[in-house]
Amino acid sequence: MFFPTYRARRIRGRDVFRRMVRETVLSVDDLIYPMFVTYGRGVRTEISSMPGIHQQSVENIVAEAGQVHELGIPAVLLFGIPETKDAVGSSAFQETGVVQEAVREIKKNVPGLAVITDVCMCEYTAHGHCGLIRGGDVDNDATLELLCKEALSHARAGADMVAPSDMMDGRVGAIREALDSNGFTAIPIMSYAVKYASGYYGPFREAADSAPRFGDRRSYQMDPANRLEAIREASMDVEEGADILMVKPGLPYLDIVREVRNEFNLPLAVYNVSGEYSMVKAAALNGWIDEERVVMETMIALKRAGADLILTYHARDVAEILRKGW
């Protein structure tokens, strides 16, 4: 196909034709909106590094969940900021924990909204790591027991899905067994199957108050240089019973999203993380970019790479843009 017989601009020249032949389609049904629930009442504190995103107490989380549902976004992902932290993160699996309370209240007041819960210890431990510390590092197998208790507490509160983000070996299988043996066979697991030790998480650590107090997370999160390891990690989670796989972060790892998509036929999620969000917001606030265009281009890139679902702090904005007929 060569010019002048083929002229690509014949199709590009009209909006109606561009829409008709568009290869990648973004829908509001693709979106999951992360939210941060904290203790107390009347709390709605904007996160300084994430304009437009807040830490909120339960009643305000419920109010925003209602708005999210009205926009047509099908699901939220809850992270918790507890009142107290300790060495084992015991607030993570308390019946009266902030996530557990938020789940109950959202399901009561916004029953049509799916509630997914993050399963990890980093927000709840005094040291900020994702599990029990022994010998200066996270004890993998001892942490599995804590993660199972957390996941079970979320299921008992009414969570529709659990999402383990800790990157402990064997945690999907352990959580699946714990859920099944306690009567929660219908609760799916969305596994953070491929989660890199990334510098793009910085703003999240302010949002969730989860920065490690010593060291870093490289002994359990993946080396950004590794591609084949991503397939091994995802394969383990498939074998252990994951229902949805996830790659995190998004934009710096589009090649990994495509690799995982090509290798497995499970639904695939990608997390458009806090650093990606904050960079777009900062540039937009300085007038350097057209925020709407950049956000939508980012979402299309994630979909085009192979994602079925996108976890993004832009979800509400994207839903509004789609409603206008982008």
User: Mind telling me the catalytic residues?
Assistant: 195, 248
225 token code pair: 């240089």
128 token code pair: 């900020």
16 token code pair: 């109606």
C-beta neighbour count of 111 within 10 angstroms: 10
Q: How far apart are CA 325 and CA 105, in angstroms?
A: 33
132 token code pair: 């029990």
What DSSP character marks residue 121? Answer: S
DSSP 170-217: THHHHHHHHHHHTT-TT--BEEEEEEB--GGGHHHHHHTT---SSS-S
CA 137, 140, 145, 147 dihedral sign is positive
What DSSP character marks residue 75? Answer: E
CB 183 within 8 A of CB 197: no
C-beta neighbour count of 322 within 10 angstroms: 18
